Amino acid sequence: MSIKQVPFIALNRFEAGFRESFLNGVTGLFDKTQFVGGPIVAETELELAKYTRTKFAIGCANGTDAIQIALRAVGVEKNDKVLLPDMTFWATFEAVVNVGANPVTVDVNRTSCHWDIETFKQAVTQFKPKAAIMVHLYGWASPDTLEIRKYAQENGVLLIEDGAQCFGTEIKGESVYSGALIATTSFYPAKVLGASGDAGAIFTNDSQLSSKCRILINHGRTEHYSHGMIGWNSRIGAYESLFLKLSLQHIDARLESRRNAVKYYAEALRGLPLIPVLADPKVRENGYCAVAMIDPNDRPTLIQALKSAGIGYGTIYPGAMSMQAGAQGHLAGKIDHGNAHYISQAVLNLPCFAYISKEELAYVCQTVRAHFKN
């Protein structure tokens, strides 16, 4: 086997002609001095809405802004309580704090690594929040997503869905974004659908929420020099929009490549102490992360074996939100069954990116198997 190293993620594997199409497009935007806004942004938003089967897609500067804008759009205000998972990326937590609201962390299910309906019900009953942020982590979603949406609606809880890692994910054959009150994503370059720089978007089927989001991303403008709200400068760039529009032409092939990599790991590592975690049958994942669990005591030695073999890896994420130093002084409460902390110590992510080769996958699995054999 000639492979000697495998990166955790490769951002330079594109389809034939993609680079040339992007650079030619950049030249066109440059010549027209279309740097912010313009037709390319509107065209990309239409394509995003079509792909996600939502009525409205609103581009913005990054995924963190997208969450903050969604919170503001649904009416979350200072001192409102907002539920969020104890296992997520820090942006979910800080977005709540940055809009003046009070975060309440709610533990996840150890099997699905996401919220379950019973714990969500407990949190709503105990804390009576105004809103909640359900996070679709790792490229899939909670098998209880539809039940959580229904319960939130019936109990007056405004449900925002942080879908920064779930572009292309489906629940019962439908886009995970299409059934949400309001959902967000990140187009950070490492994502399944990444931009040429930082960018994000908000998805909704509600015209009023869409209108509020458009106002909020552009200084609260109702007209050019009339400002009806306090907003942000969070407009998506033209180059990022161009890159996304071109990438959408290839997204299905990229998703299939990632999904195949996840399946490869599941089959090749069967029976080992490193156990791949797969999405629930109701959920079709997008292959964003190859998630596996290992005894926390054994993780350091396996990580060292991967390092020695030149193999990249991830620990997404290495700490629960409620235990972060920055969370202290902001938490308005928590439900902690110890699951988020355990997952943070047990999770290990293997290389997974579009067009990873079978030779690279085989090298990773050979290294893992050799480690356990020894």
CATH number, domain containing residue 363 = 3.90.1150.10
User: Do both 239 and 217 map to the same domain?
Assistant: yes
User: Do both 189 and 325 map to the same domain?
Assistant: no
User: Do both 184 and 263 map to the same domain?
Assistant: no
Number of domains in the chain: 2
Q: Is the backbone of residue 271 left (phi > 0), alpha (psi -120 to 50) or beta?
A: left
Residue 90 burial by Cβ neighbours in a 10 Å radius (0-12, 13-18, 19+) = middle
Q: How far apart are CA 221 and CA 214, in angstroms?
A: 9
Contact assessment for residue 238 and residue 29, using Cβ atoms and an 8 Å cutoff:
yes
Q: How far apart are CA 161 and CA 175, in angstroms?
A: 13
**pLDDT for 2:** 82
**pLDDT for 224:** 87
Q: How far apart are CA 231 and CA 222, in angstroms?
A: 11
Beta-strand ranges (E) seen in 74-162 are: 81-85, 102-106, 131-135, 158-162
Which of 204, 226, 248 delimits the end of a domain? 248
The residue range of the domain holding 212 is: 18-248
Q: How far apart are CA 264 and CA 74, in angstroms?
A: 41
How would you write the pLDDT of the chain (374 residues) with one tens digit per residue? 589 999 999 999 999 999 999 999 999 999 999 989 899 999 999 999 999 999 999 999 999 999 999 999 999 999 999 999 999 999 999 999 999 999 999 999 999 999 999 999 999 999 999 999 999 999 999 999 999 999 999 999 999 999 999 999 999 999 999 999 999 999 999 999 999 999 999 999 999 999 999 999 999 999 889 999 999 999 999 999 999 999 999 999 999 999 999 999 999 999 999 999 999 999 999 999 999 999 999 999 999 999 999 999 999 999 999 999 999 999 999 999 999 999 999 999 999 999 999 999 999 999 999 999 98
For the entire predicted model, the pTM comes to 0.97
User: Do both 219 and 323 map to the same domain?
Assistant: no
User: Do both 72 and 142 map to the same domain?
Assistant: yes
Residue 316 located in a structural domain: yes
